[in-house]
Structure 1
Amino acid sequence: MRAVRAVLSLVSCATAAALLAGCGTPVGPDYKIPPEAAVRQPGAAASFDHAVADSRQAQAAPLPPQWWRLYQDPALDALVRQALQHNTDLRQAEANLQRVQALQQGVHASEGVHASVSAAPVYGHVSGLSVLQKGYEPPADWLASAGLELSYELDLFGQVHRAIEAAEAGTGSAQAALDLARVNVAGGTARAYAQACAAGLRLRTAQHSIELQQEALDVAGRLQQAGRVGVVDVERARAQLQQLHAVVPSVQAQRQAALLQLQALVGAIPGDPAHPLPAAVADCAQPPVLAQALPVGDGAALLRRRPDLRQAERELAVATARIGVATGDLYPKIRLGLSTTSAGPLADFGGRDTLAWNVGPLISWTIPNTGAVQARIAEAEASTRGALAKFDGTVLTALRESETALDAYARELQRRAALAAAREASATVAEQARRLYRAGKTGYLESLDAERSLAASDAALADTQAQLADDQIRVFMALGGGWENEAP
């Protein structure tokens, strides 16, 4: 009964100690984002009005989750969905999050009552001298011993509290890292798909130019047979045709590289014929086009949304909490403990005369080497300053990337408009040059020059359409969208 009362007493003491510890102020600084941090500056949360004003294809509406659905492209939706399920980078990030969560659970476990149980049945006897009988050999017998120990650490100075804070912030950082991996996987998949489709468009454009030049070569051949032109015109037409053919292999290589990258992103073996990409992807020849104006939101939404910002902020919280963990080494450790044992012959095990117990506080204090502890505290404080600098740098980088991506997208829209007008003019000139050449009113050089200009205009227009798709995806990635789990 005494042992039971002692256990109840220990539980009561532990409860009181927990309340007492909760009333104290933990060592080290409480975490808060410093007022001088870049994220707290007014300009960081400003809108992107100037970027929106430069383009009618952008608006200040908030960026929705799963932004790739704005393209209304089922093939792209399926690829991103598959990548988010099977991508290896995501699997690594998920495993790391589970590892950090397990560490957090271990740190939380240090708060509770710790128990240990021991038992040792043995056969033998004690020595005669241990019972003060020289020359006496006690009879051998079965002996048994068992013990129960309970202990509870009083976190009077908050070191455990700070360790828990650091563990929880570390879990938040790992969660943000997983979200960042989702952003990169979704964006990378969309970019690879856009690159494959853009290469398909370039191939189609190049094939059209080849067909036109083949017609020009056929015309030149017929005119030569009629004696109206010389062999030089025919060879010039053939040379231009071969130059157009020379473009095709490099574009095919770009397309194949994008398709192989897509296979790797969705977790398939690149080039494996057993797991081919859908025909809608392999045969795509038109980059994805937004079904509405590009939603860009504002700086405040960006700062809340980008996972790398949340990751850097949580790392700052971890570093701040570790200052308290290091400072706690300056103070003693106090534990409430209860131990009860029963030791004696097996036949008498559990009897009153075999029981022993004790209860009370255990104070352990390794007199610290103050210089070493202060060095660890200084190290933690320096790490916190470094984490703040990293956080500021991440904020500035996020704002720079967003502004740069939006500006590049607006400029590329202007470039596409100019190239489209130039292509129309080149097509008109090329058609007229063909008619004049066939009628024998001009030489082939004029017609060849017009055909070259048209081919160059077609290629440039295909390039700018590919660049526009890439710029749009860069904007979405810079804005940090794509990690949310909810439907748009």
Structure 2
Amino acid sequence: MQPRLKRSALLLALALQGCSLAPAYNPPDLNLPAHYREQTSDGPWHSAQPADQLSPQWWRVYQDERLNTLQQQLLSANPDLAAALAHFDAAQAYASQLHAGLFPQITASGQPMRQRQSDSRPLRGTTQPSVYNSNTAGFALNFDLDLWGKIRNQVAAGDAQAEASADDLAVARLSLQRQLTGLYVQLDGLDAQQRILSSSLDEYNQALQLTRARFQGQIASELDLTRAQSQLAEAEAQLDDVRGQRNLTEHAMGELVGEPASTFQLAASTRTLDLPPQPQALPSTLLQRRPDIAAAERRVFAANAAIGVAKAAWYPDFSLTGLLGGQTQGSGNLLAASNRFWALGPLISLPIFDGGRLDGQERQAKAEFEEASAHYRSQVLHAVREVEDNLAQLRDLRQESLDEQAAANTAEHTQAIATNSYEAGAVSYLDVVTAQTAALQAQRQVQALRTRQLQASVGLLTALGGGWDQSAQHL
């Protein structure tokens, strides 16, 4: 009968090894649309798959090798990215520490000592020496049976936190890449603004020379001459302002790629970046590839496992302990049978009264789960808004650019008419100044809208987690 009881106890212990007090995990419910409002979609939401990832070099859609070189420099030299990588390594190391709790812990110890005992020691024998040697060496074993899943839930939570840290690293990388690409687009726009202003300065200089000649020939008034001079000076001031903005943008880019602003320089671009084509459909499922959403979901899972850890603390903790070693009085073989000592047995601990500590820990774990779930829902809603914002920006800016280009074409034609009429003496120079100012503003506005379109495309690429598959027209 006794062997049967032993077998039953063993089977019960093995069964309890698979026990977990953590609630069954389900990701937080999300009331999400099947498609984006700003664009037609072709599929419902579903859980993202780990292998369902995009190319990390999403900025290559702009087909600019200088941008690609800067991005590679950012990945290798940015200190914030290095800090995020170190944080990820620390999270992985912590998870490996938790895994150690699943295995027996064995330690070895040695203690050679020479000691003196008190003459007044209670129950001291008359033949015992006052000074003697004591050499001890041995092994100790401790193994938590984890019947209620406390350690396994700690491991699960640690693994989930490590996965979230990996996603945090991806978030940091994507954010820095977005900043660099956005600054590069801004720099590209400022270079285009410089080209426009430089071209206008050439025209204004020619107009000033014409007006000065007409003034000297007493054909034009001094008022016309001062208007031409004022217009040229204003355009030069605008060019100086653009150069100042370019310097600040260049300094920010140097910081991102790990170079001092004092030494980082980029030559002015001679061409404008092309706007990448936008796919006709963006299924809302693609949004779940964003690393910030993945990190938030993993933290919900970790918080769920922490509830199991808190609940397990209410139950008896069973562990197996053992000792094996030898002890002598300074001489003799430690391994001799007469010098050996050993101990083996279970250790059971059960909380009786803790003043409400365990109850507080469980309520804290549940509250942290609710917090993580709310944060996950917030991340998803924020991500949907970012996609909608950038889709709307691209749509509205496209039409605005067409309208502004039409205005720029008309302003350029008006400028030509005003200049020819002034040379013929049919209008005053005020008409020329007005036409030239309107033409310059329209050209600069067209370029500014182009830059905003590129910025919106960068925003859409990163809002979707890093671009889309152009061949399949989806992420």
TM-score (normalizing by structure 2):
0.88
Task: State the Cα deviation string for residues 246-274 of structure 1 (Å, max 9, x = none).
Answer: 112221111111111111111111122xx
Tell me whether 1:27 sits opposite 2:21 in the alignment.
yes
Correspondence for 1:416: 401
Given the alignment of the two structures, is residue 347 of structure 1 paired with residue 331 of structure 2, yes or no? yes
Q: How has the CA–CA distance of structure 1 residues 456 and 132 changed in structure 2, closer, same or farther, with 3 Å as cutoff?
A: closer
SS at match of 2:302: helix
The residue aligned with 1:50 is 39
Cα deviation 1:251-306 (Å, max 9, x = unaligned): 1111111111111111111122xxx44xxx42114442135445773210111x11
Do residues 75 (structure 1) and 70 (structure 2) align?
A: no
**Structure 1 residues 267 and 443: alpha-carbon distance in aligned structure 2, compared to 1, 3 A threshold:** same
CA shift for structure 1 position 347: 3.0
**Relative to 1, partners in 2 of residues 1:82 and 1:15: Cα closer, same or farther, differing over 3 Å?**
farther
Selected match of 2:287 from 302, 306, 311: 302
Counterpart Cα distance in 2 of 1:445 and 1:462: 26
Change (3 A) 1:115 1:194: same
Distance (Å, rounded) in 2 between the aligned partners of 1:226 and 1:131: 128
Return the alpha-carbon distance in structure 1 between the equivalents of residues 286 and 276 of structure 2.
22
Aligned-pair Cα RMSD in Å? 2.8
How far 1:350 sits from its partner (Å)? 2.5
Say which of 333, 341, 355 aligns to 2:317.
Answer: 333
- Superimposed CA distance per residue, residues 21-72 of structure 1 (whole angstroms, 9 cap, x where no aligned partner): 433x2113132213xx22xx351x425662799xxxxxxxx97542211111
Of 167-176 and 325-334, more deviation after overlay is shown by 325-334
Q: In 2, are the aligned partners of 1:146 and 1:341 still within 8 Å (CA)? A: yes
User: Which SS does the other structure have where 1:347 is aligned?
Assistant: coil
Partner of 1:481: 466
Given that residues 38 and 388 in structure 2 are in contact (C-alpha distance below 8 angstroms), is that contact kept between their aligned partners in structure 1? no
CA positional deviation for 1:185: 1.5
Letter in 1 for 2:454: A
The aligned counterpart of 1:161 is 152
1:274-293 matches, within 5 Å, as 276-277=264-265, 281-293=266-278
1:252 aligns with 2:243: yes
What is the number of residues matched between the two proteins?
453
Give the Cα separation in 2 of the matches to 1:411 and 1:260.
31
Matched to 1:32, the amino acid is N
For the 8 Å contact 1:338–1:360, the answer to whether it is kept is: yes
- Give the C-alpha shift of residue 447 in structure 1: 1.6
CA drift at 1:128 = 7.8
Shift of 1:398: 0.2
Between the aligned partners of 1:469 and 1:66, the Cα distance in structure 2 is 17
Pick from 204, 215, 222: which aligns with 1:224? 215
Instruction: Please state if 1:318 is matched with 2:302.
Output: yes
Q: Provide the rounded CA distance (Å) in 2 between the counterparts of 1:265 and 1:164.
A: 36
The change in CA–CA distance for 1:444 and 1:151 in structure 2 (over 3 A counts) is: same
2:376 is equivalent to residue 375 of structure 1:
no
Contact 2:54 2:467 in 1 (8 A): no
Identify if the C-alpha distance between structure 1 residues 240 and 49 changes in structure 2 by more than 3 Å, giving closer, same or farther. Answer: closer
Counterpart of 1:237 (choices 213, 225, 228) is 228
2: CA distance between counterparts of 1:285 and 1:384? 54
- Kept after mapping to 1: 8 A contact 2:327/2:339: yes
- What is the CA–CA distance in structure 2 between the aligned matches of 1:265 and 1:127, rounded to whole Å? 70
- Looking at structure 1, the residues matched to 371 and 118 of structure 2 have their Cα atoms a distance apart, in angstroms, of 63
Task: Name the CA distance, whole Å, in 1 between partners of 2:252 and 2:150.
Answer: 48
Rounded to whole Å, the distance in 2 between the matches of 1:300 and 1:292 is 20
Residues 195, 287 of structure 1: 8 Å contact kept: no
Consecutive unaligned residues of structure 1, counting only runs of 5 or more, are 1-11, 54-61
What whole-Å deviation, never above 9, does each CA across 1:88-124 have from its counterpart, x for those lacking one? 2211111000001111011111111111222122335
Aligned mates of 1:396, 1:465 — CA distance in 2: 28
Q: Which runs of 5+ in 2 are unaligned?
A: 1-6, 43-52, 470-474
Q: Could you report, residue by residue, the CA deviation over 1:135-188 in whole angstroms, capped at 9, with x for unpaired residues?
A: 445385543222211121110011111111110110011011001111111111
Match of 1:8? Answer: none
1:382-461 correspondence to structure 2 within 5 Å? 382-461=367-446
Q: In 2, Cα distance between the equivalents of 1:52 and 1:258?
A: 37
Q: Distance in 1 between matches of 2:436 and 2:443?
A: 11
Percent identical among aligned pairs is: 26
TM-score (norm 1): 0.86
Which protein has the bigger helix share? 1
How far off its partner does 1:222 sit?
Answer: 1.0
